[in-house]
Amino acid sequence: MTTLLWEQHCCLPLTVGADVGELARYARPGGSFVSVNVGYAPHSADLVLAILDDWRRRIAADDRLRLVSGVGDIGSEGVSVAFDLEDSGPLEGDLDRVRQYYDLGVRTLLPTYNERNAAGCGCLDATDEGLSAYGRDLVREMNAVGMVPDGSHCSARTGLDLCEVSALPVVYSHSCMRALWDHPRNITDEQARACAATGGVVGIAGVGIFLGPNDPSMEALIRHIDYAVELVGPEHVGLATDYSFDHADLNAEMVANPSLFPECYTRWGPIRFMPPEGLLGVEAALLERGYPAEAVAGILGGNFRRVAELSWR
């Protein structure tokens, strides 16, 4: 295997001192790129900045890992690493922080996480009013800086507004297809088509409750990939497992915070995830299914890389 693997979203424990060495599990011939979440709705700017400072220093000191600034830094060996934010809350209303986070390696940002905030509405909101005026300004600032807008966890209208406002590609970094499994975190065909029209990519997630009834199997993942490819073409489909390296703690947090994680997250018990080792098998599974090598290379990493080449400054 010599094709780049691009994991658009995974989660380490959101603490200073988290074991960044776990990211080495993505290593494979051809190299890997991994985007790691550094904060979401409950987190302050101070905490996110402390996490970034700690993780950047320890990633730089680990010979198996490589911090990237530009696409040219992504190597054909080892694991290249950048970061993402799962909510605009850690900006604390200050658009200048978009540049600050970008300079520290954050390359993707979601305006909202499940519930309405200053930027827009979330996928669990009963009323969907889309992006706010502040949210539209946020998207424009992200375009100016080079940070990729991400519609995952956003409401359908907010995601469609992202695609309308953004002058650069929009992604759904870790979202599955609602037509196959009706979960509020999954996206509609309309959202996927709008994303593709921007030149963006839908990253199929390896989360059991988004793929089916807590089914993180290869078969379930490929089923959602097949559907997305048929809908928008292979050049607009990618991968992002949303794997949680602290899934026991995450499941406990979900039970303790029912407003952010209601029954649609917890009804099947502890969430099951496709681990990094499972993601390493996607290339062979797609080739065995008859996908052309060029399409496989795009889904595995080339499509998200294209978005980065168009967007990152």
Cβ(72)–Cβ(20) under 8 Å?
no
Task: Encode burial over 133-154: b for 16+ CB neighbours within 10 A, e otherwise.
Answer: ebbbebbbbbbebbbbbbbbbb
Task: Check residues 221 and 259 and name the one with the higher pLDDT.
Answer: 221
98-114 pLDDT, tens digit each = 999 999 999 999 999 99
273-309 pLDDT, tens digit each = 999 999 999 999 999 999 999 999 999 999 999 999 9
**Domains along the chain with CATH numbers:** 5-311 (3.20.20.140)
Cβ(39)–Cβ(54) under 8 Å?
no
139-176 pLDDT, tens digit each = 999 999 999 999 999 999 999 999 999 999 999 999 99
Q: What is the pTM of this model?
A: 0.96
Q: What gap in Å lies between CA 251 and CA 269, rounded to an integer?
A: 9
38-76 pLDDT, tens digit each = 999 999 999 999 999 999 999 999 999 999 999 999 988
208-252 pLDDT, tens digit each = 999 999 999 999 999 999 999 999 999 999 999 999 998 888 888
